[in-house]
Amino acid sequence: MRHLQLSTRRASIRLFVPEDAPDIFASISPEITRHMAWDPPETEAAFADVWRSWLKTIEDGSEFHFVVRSRNDDRFLGVIGVHAALTGTPELGIWLRSEAHGLGFGRELIGTIIGWASESFPIRYFEYPVAEENIASRRIAEAYGGEVRGHRTNPKYRSLVYHIPPMRA
């Protein structure tokens, strides 16, 4: 699984490795995290604690953190998470660097991850929590048949929880 690589027309998607950490850290900003439950880590050392935990969950197959890069120039574009992968109702998450917003990457990438996970795990549905005001992410969920089935509240915002059906072959 460590060498898992997926691709879209414009992007390559592969599991996180420590060499990705500087690109990720450099792209995290308050603007990026305004619709996320977490805040930007203050230091590279603080971020290292985060990504080290990713390695453990990737290894045990319980969560996957994918790094997205441009197929044209290998430029870092974002991160996709598949959390609680072994539960039958994994949670999807995505964030893209500012320069990649509004270009259709989110829909392209989430569709690829839904397809991969649907083939790899017995999925009943995917959970996709989205800040109520994040219209772009709501459109991604709805494009894949997602329906609002719940709400969550955290200190930063209220979110809608979409249930997205798996892709069947």
Pure H helices in the chain:
21-27, 30-33, 44-60, 105-120, 135-143
Residue 25: give its domain's CATH number: 3.40.630.30
What mean pLDDT do residues 28-44 have?
A: 83
- Binned at pLDDT 50, 70 and 90, residue 157 comes out as confident
Domain count for the chain, please give it.
1
Task: Indicate whether this model's pTM tops 0.85.
Answer: yes
What range defines the domain where residue 27 resides?
Answer: 5-126
What tens digit of pLDDT does each residue of 52-107 get?
Answer: 999 999 999 999 999 999 999 999 999 999 999 999 999 999 999 989 999 999 99
Closest CA to 23 of 67, 64, 54: 67
28: Cβ contacts below 8 Å, ≥ 6 apart: 40, 41, 47
What mean pLDDT do residues 123-127 have?
A: 98
Residue 45's alpha-carbon distances to 19, 42, 71, in angstroms, are: 14, 8, 29
Closest CA to 76 of 59, 99, 57, 58: 99
